[in-house]
Structure 1
């Protein structure tokens, strides 16, 4: 058996810092929690897809009404359209009186029908994650931590309420979980404080007294009676103001310390990386110079290798130029020149005479040439790499721009696709609805006929009747909606002109004259060209009286009739498998199926009395028992075997009807008792 579906709640409006706390609480209690944002998917799609029964709207108390009034109206309209059961408007007790009255006036205009609108008024909420702009408590707490001063309030005993985030989230959950449907509820702690008390408490928590400069502003706020919220939802605050501020301050300290540690680590890493990038080339250049000195020492005081007759300083200069460019190659050229000069002087050359010896001057010039050439090519390649990186970055930006355009197009495409697929007359939606008619069980089909018709036609009140075999009476099989429950359980055909014409002509009936106690639309269910039942619609909206909806209703009835025909044919062919031969007594499996279908019908209707009587056989055969029971039961009642016994299943029968059937059976000598445990 499938588990119970999770309850659903949707949060929309202003984003608040305690939103995650609220979401975690609902998730912990097994609720599906959705947050409506301004980006995709569109609000209309969220309501259409998730079918949310409860909506929370957080009003932006700091914004002007022109910024939130249109959105509030739009959300309320969608709630009404998509069958939202409860709408809660979360307001701040610190809002100006005029704005509070305006918001409640807008929301109250949408009251009515099945949707209730309630106002939840909260004081200033504080806690971990709150920013200075989220309220006075968070602002003063951060000011105290930093040793800053704040503007205080006139020295009066005015007081206001403060609510810890966890307490506020739990109060909201309790309100929704208890299905509160009152007009308004003030979620207050009953522990207001003055400005002096708040500043003193913050100083005690932080260990740093808060400096306040007096201003003429008013500190006090509305102070509703806290006993009402306790009586309505059984809630009281768990944390005192000092405890809540202590936890908020601890989170603020942890956040600050974490940020400082991260900043110090990043600075240290960046400094090390910068030093490495600057110092490594010089270190390698110096190491290369020392290597050349060592090589000259082991080669007998010369930089020229005697085996290949090649000056290794050229390799050293070229390596620096290729690796790091012209700057390092010139430094390497200077080191090489110094080494060469030292080698020549050690060999007995005169420093002044060297300036006049062409072979030595050409050697120094060759060093310079190698340094410039290798450095030039290295710098050219570095410039080329930078150019390529720049072009790659430009290409990446263009790609990201095109990708964003593509994603936006996909979003629009998906949105339009869902609008088309989920529109009232889309083939996809009709197919998904009509697919539930793929059944060969007649009782299930009557139930599905009601469900299918309500979805296709967008109505709430429907009654499905089955025609008696003699064609004189209509017996109600399924009903849904308040108006349908007011209709009689049986209808005599000859007493209603619309029924006589509908059954004779087999067309859709439209109550154009608005005749009292007559359905707005009605149509027959046909089998082999004859009416076997009637579907009636009540309480149609004005826009559902169009010719389009009449044709849609007619097509739906044809589909239902086709499915009913297949079910009747199957039942006729499976007669021996479903019933004991020559009787109306269902075999156990078929009886169990009928019981499940009627239970499903009761879930659809919301209310349908169902009677089950256990019949004592007392040695009677199935034929004898069928004959006796057939005299005292209706055509729509069922007789079947279950767990070795014989039971009578009485749809839409209350205790009075069950007692009447038992009395009739007793007069025939058959004992029957009610069976409650099977329901």
Structure 2
């Protein structure tokens, strides 16, 4: 992509520009600042400084083939409420006018979450809001692909003067000055690391998102905690005056879920965890040079050197001519020196020039030396025609030519070898830099993934807590806890567990969440189970992607002896919980529930002789009382609706006969046994006491008297 940034220096924009350039995209920047660079010095991009109108911006868009535009507003977003400011509307108007004739894929307008706060807007925020409205008007009338990103406070390991509002507060506290806050101490703000903000904006641009997004972490901190952190870093107790004029957003409204659904972005830095460390490093950094600092003045000699460096052939030619002039002077004033009679100064000039500058200048030196030799002969009144007919006079020219050509060839050959070695070195250096960049990127990805694992709600510590919570010996208690775990993991209010009665061809409700009490069907017929059973046989997980009515959104089976013993169902889950991540997480939770449930059932089966009356399935009084206590639930909430009743069998029936008779009248999800009085009692699960008359008729047909016991 070819990205154009426009506006004054912006911390979030600087990190975003570095991200684009590091990923191989091209970037340019239009700014009114004199010296600052938006990106890292090692990165390359074009900078246009000055005030530009629409007519000047249009050629920049065309020549750079701009397809993405980012308008920077850090001077408004991150400025103090009463500070002097420069309106962004003139520059924005010129840019949008130029974009009418130049189509782009995305136009990003960086805004602030403070526009959603209560109370009256400050002049800076009003200017920022006017920019939003201006962009939206162009979106409606000219089809501008607009992306408005509202950011919270941005921080990063940069000098406080570059950190906007947070840096200004930090600097004031470090100087021991009091600060004023227009909000109250209980209000919350969302502080985001510039690296996370850049990653979110980069992902939004890649997916060509449009609309308005909150670029926040979703982990707001109270302002009292925010100022306390700044005070700890500054080494002083914060002196804050709370004006309570502008309430911020409620904590739940700092919601990054639309952003995460669009891009899959997750923040890797949280202010509550690493904010103090980052701000401490920022406070220790030296202040950056002001944007209006004067440029260094170059002296004329330095300018000449720079010009000669850009024109190397002219410099070489000039040095050769200077050397020839020195040779001519030496020949003229050295005629009377007897020692120089045995030295050929012209040959020395040719050899020296060829060795220093190569074959091209060597040939020029041969020509100059030959002309000098001819001039000396003419000055000695030697007839030039003599040179043409006397072969002996050709020897100096031949020596000059051979010396210049041979030495020039050797020097050129060595230079070519040196250039080849330099190219190989540059290639190796480029490969090394790529490998180093790849290593740095890999290390950065590793650190980010590690931080994501630490920051995500479903970390290994959370899974360990789930394992401990599902460690129970009683199946009823285990199912009740499993419902709570499923609700926490999927963030839903409706979940249930059904027992699969294969011989009866139905599923019976075992337990459910409070939101489903009274509305969850006690029995599911075979028609409702068919889709679930088919999904269980194929992949082990039912996902209601077809949004079928009367079906759970997610369901997973619990297997026992090769048959589905039960299944866990979740209802009314959020759309973002249908992802593969949450499906796998739900599968893991159900597998943990299955493992512990099988262990609990095996434990009960092994203790059957201890818990039941000999030769029957009737629970002993202690075991029956334990089941009743479990069904009544933990914390006063019943595991499920149930009806407790006493049963008077016909005269003459022993315990074995009573057990066989009751076993034929109750379901597999019900319980029968002896109560504390020694009489027979039955617990009918998911059966309201209002059905007492129907229950009495059912038991009366078998000769039993039924009486409801208040539970």
Q: Does TM, normalized by the shorter one, top 0.5?
A: no
Report the TM-score, using the length of structure 2 for normalisation.
0.38
